[in-house]
Amino acid sequence: MNLLIKEHLFIVGGATSGFGKAITESLLKEGAQVIVVARGEEKLRTLYSNEENAELITGDITDSDTIEQLQYIIGERQLHGMVVNAGGPPAKMVLETTLEDWDDAYRKILRWKVAITQAFVPKMIKAGYGRILYIESSSVKQPIENLVLSNSLRLAVVGMVKTLSQEIARSGVTLNVMGPGSHNTPAIDRLYIKKAEQTGLAFDEVKKNAINLIPVGALGEADDFASLALWLLSPLSKYITGQTITVDGGMIKGTL
């Protein structure tokens, strides 16, 4: 399928690992131009320095300085899409958290996403086109054990995305959320480590037990996740906005 994104310009956060890496690699294969953002300069250069269509930005995408740097680098060019993606907060139960944990989670999960959205959506509206994809978690539809900070603050992101999608629905700019369940990426290990600490079971046993609970019987793969992400980032998805789509192997039991 021709996704019609050749030479389109995208920003991808967290581009050296997990979903960000898989989406970046898929965009580059389609001939898109990608501004790749990650904190680790060495890994960033190892992965993308030979990619003609990749522009490398070393920095924390959750920081205002990095967002300003992105605005400067893009300049007057048309930005076609953006993958809003970064790591999440630590695994904790409610009574384990401190108010400082909540303040930090607000900064890591919500605040910077509002900032980057406000930085680039007006530019997209002016151009009459844009695709923004927020990588959150399946916890926005069904809470995940030991992830109260993520369970709570990611719901706020969904509320912001839904509201803005309604406010600018006729602009040609769409905003959607993807909520991954358990995938074979480094981020999932923190849940297994936490569960192992709570139960005294070995890490591998905890992981095996968790996988057995997934209806399809396996962890998801980042490349498969990226295939849906690319479609949502393409002109073909013009009639979908304000939606939260979970990719979870059947774990969400609700019908909404």
Q: What does the pLDDT profile of the chain (256 residues) look like in tens digits?
A: 899 999 999 999 999 999 999 999 999 999 999 999 999 999 999 999 999 999 999 999 999 999 999 999 999 999 999 999 999 899 999 999 999 999 999 999 999 999 999 999 999 999 999 999 999 999 999 999 999 999 999 999 999 999 999 999 999 999 999 999 999 888 888 889 988 899 999 989 988 999 999 999 999 999 999 999 999 999 999 999 999 999 999 999 887 7
Q: What is the model's pTM?
A: 0.95
> What confidence score (pLDDT) does residue 70 get?
98
In this prediction, residue 186 carries a pLDDT of: 81
3-state secondary structure (DSSP) of residue 161? helix
State whether residue 177 is helix, strand or coil.
strand
Contact 251, 141 (CB under 8 A): no
Angstrom distance (rounded) from CA 44 to CA 48: 6
Look at residue 251 in the predicted model and tell me its pLDDT.
93
- In the DSSP assignment, the letter for residue 172 is T
The domain locations on the chain are 9-181+221-246, 184-219
Distance CA(167)–CA(186), nearest Å, equals 36
What is the SS3 assignment for 47? Answer: helix
9-181+221-246: CATH topology: Rossmann fold (3.40.50)
What DSSP assignment string belongs to 65-76?
HHHHHHHHHHTT
C-alpha of 211 from chain center: 22
Q: Which residue is it, tokens 């030979």?
A: 50
CA atoms within 13 A on the CB side of 147: 25
pLDDT of the residue at 253: 87
92: helix, strand or coil: strand
